[in-house]
Amino acid sequence: MMRWRIGDVVVTKVVELEAVGGSRFILPEATREAVLPIAWLRPHFADDEGRLRMSVHALVVDTPRLRVVVDTCIGNDKQGRAIPGWNGLQTGFLADLALAGYARDTIDAVLCTHLHVDHVGWNTMLVDGKWVPTFPRARYLMGRVEFEHWREQRENAGQRAVFADSVAPVFEAGLVDLVATDHRISEELSLVPTLGHTPGHVSLRIRSRGEEALITGDFLHHPCQMARPHWASSADHDAAAAQRTRLAMFRRLADTPVLVIGTHFAGATAGRVVSDGDAWRLAVP
Ligand SMILES: [Zn+2]
């Protein structure tokens, strides 16, 4: 189990799925030939053939007063997903969460960095044919802009299904707090707007006892985008804005002690951004 300490805050990674290769649909420019020359990606983030390693995981952020799950993966039993392998999943995610010390009824808050399919799934679980909140004691924090965008959108049938089974049930249960993109959650935790991938996308800043970390969400999907910031994700809502965000964030983080914890990063998962020629790389411990 992977765990990091930032002052008084402990962050724990709970994995739902890991994959090697098959990521062309999300980062079309990251071909094997294009990835191989980025040597520092191996072994954590790519294999010797240039295939990207990726992960779908939740990050539990445990502060002295608040226990927060950041992004809730794909979930079990979901249907109507655009990626066939994400339909009808049966993983042991909740058991793994409990094994890590975080039974679902001990969670105080859920933060969705954005409302894509792989960030909201475990918001709900199927009980007697109905979608019910997985974390009954939690407030579910969602960006107001993000929520309204996905509630109104009609074009994307897959995302409509996601909203219906993983967002609407917690909203209707009265558990959702719609927040601004720079919302302060607690003494240690605040949101950072990282727009572009989606209209209301946020990252999470953790500060405690002079230490700092950032949970990325999907303003980048993979560390290869530090070396190649112009590699857009096919899922970016506004690719130009997403690229501006990546550049601004890499410049801000570069050569600082901020621990960057990736929402889809495999292997070491976290590291520090360092300047590398006219781009950046992720230095892992
Ligand atoms: Zn994602």
pLDDT digits (tens, 9 = 90+) for 114-139: 999 999 999 999 999 999 999 999 99
Q: For residue 113, how far is its CA from the centre of ligand 1 (angstroms)?
A: 9
Q: Does position 22 have pLDDT exceeding 90, yes or no?
A: no
DSSP SS3 for 5: strand
Q: What is the mean pLDDT of residues 59-88?
A: 96
For 184, list phi and psi in degrees, rounded to 5.
Answer: -100, 120
* Residue 267 contacts residue 44 (beta carbons within 8 Å): yes
Grade residue 157 by pLDDT with cuts at 50, 70 and 90: confident
Q: What is the pLDDT of residue 191?
A: 98
Query: In which order are the strands placed within the sheet that holds 109-111?
Result: 2-6, 9-20, 53-62, 67-70, 109-111, 139-143, 176-179
Q: Does position 158 have pLDDT exceeding 90, yes or no?
A: no
pLDDT digits (tens, 9 = 90+) for 243-253: 999 999 999 99
Distances in Å between the Cα of 115 and the Cα atoms of 55, 92, 109, 160, 210 are: 17, 22, 16, 11, 31
pLDDT digits (tens, 9 = 90+) for 188-243: 999 999 999 999 999 999 999 999 999 999 999 999 999 999 999 988 899 999 99
Q: For residue 186, how far is its CA from the centre of ligand 1 (angstroms)?
A: 25
Q: For residue 70, how far is its CA from the centre of ligand 1 (angstroms)?
A: 12
Alpha helices (H) along the chain? 32-35, 93-99, 117-120, 144-152, 157-162, 168-172, 224-227, 239-253
Q: For residue 217, how far is its CA from the centre of ligand 1 (angstroms)?
A: 7
Q: For residue 216, how far is its CA from the centre of ligand 1 (angstroms)?
A: 10
Percent of the chain predicted with pLDDT > 90? 92
Q: For residue 14, how far is its CA from the centre of ligand 1 (angstroms)?
A: 15
Q: For residue 28, how far is its CA from the centre of ligand 1 (angstroms)?
A: 15
Per-position b or e across 2-28, b if 16+ CB within 10 A of its CB: bebebbebbbbbbbbbeeeeebeebbe
Q: For residue 37, how far is its CA from the centre of ligand 1 (angstroms)?
A: 25
Higher pLDDT pick, 82 / 210: 210
For the whole prediction, is pTM greater than 0.95? Answer: yes
Q: For residue 123, how far is its CA from the centre of ligand 1 (angstroms)?
A: 15
Q: For residue 119, how far is its CA from the centre of ligand 1 (angstroms)?
A: 6
Per-position b or e across 204-234, b if 16+ CB within 10 A of its CB: bbbbbeebbbbbbbbbbbbbbbbbbbebbbe
Q: Does position 27 have pLDDT exceeding 90, yes or no?
A: yes
